[in-house]
Amino acid sequence: MPVIREVRVIPPPPGEAPDQSPMKVSKTLIVTRGLTHRCPNCGAKKLFKEGTLFRLNAACPDCGLLIERDEGFFLGSMTLNYGVTILGVLLPILILYLVGAFSGVVAAVLAGVSAIIFPMVFYRASRSWWLMSYYFFLPKHLPANRGELAPGQDENI
């Protein structure tokens, strides 16, 4: 088995300085924009198509940021929506039923109605929060933070 004795830091090629520039869009701004359903890149309130409740724009009309990044990208937002529905709505109803606040019939009807209504109400927030969490952990993927792409360079860095 080979033993690594020293670690060398390889300097960047001549003419290419390492990117030490501060990000134009900070993580705080990404969270603020995500919580208010705005584009994480430019701040425009255009994640959803105008006049619709549930139709997401494929890209931001103002800055061109891809919102529908890949097929299945928003699978996580459905998981988020499901989790918040379970933990934030159905679990409290179950607890209230168990402590005797509701009868079984009232709890079942309330849980059934809430399980249908709440995910629809939370839909827009779950999409925005999922996009926010992606760029919160990978802020350099925002076009405002990474700058121009070189020809042939993947936008995922």
Q: What residues make contact with Zn ion under the rule CB under 5 A?
A: 39, 41-42, 44, 60, 62-63, 65
Question: In whole angstroms, how close is the CB of 111 to Zn ion at the nearest point?
Answer: 38
Q: 57 or 77: whose CB is closer to Zn ion?
A: 57
Question: In whole angstroms, how close is the CB of 43 to Zn ion at the nearest point?
Answer: 7
What DSSP assignment string belongs to 105-117?
HHHHHHHHHHHHH
Question: In whole angstroms, how close is the CB of 87 to Zn ion at the nearest point?
Answer: 31
Q: Which residues pair with 59 in a beta bridge?
A: 66
Q: 41 or 81: whose CB is closer to Zn ion?
A: 41
Q: Distance between CA atoms of 134 and 12, rounded to whole angstroms?
A: 28
Compute the Cα dihedral for 103, 104, 109, 110 and give only its sign: positive
| Tokens (6 digits) for 50 | 């105008």
Backbone angles phi, psi at 2, to 5 degrees: -70, 145
Q: Which residues pair with 48 in a beta bridge?
A: 56
Question: In whole angstroms, how close is the CB of 60 to Zn ion at the nearest point?
Answer: 3
Q: 42 or 131: whose CB is closer to Zn ion?
A: 42
Q: Which H or E element spans position 91? A: helix 91-98
Q: 60 or 131: whose CB is closer to Zn ion?
A: 60
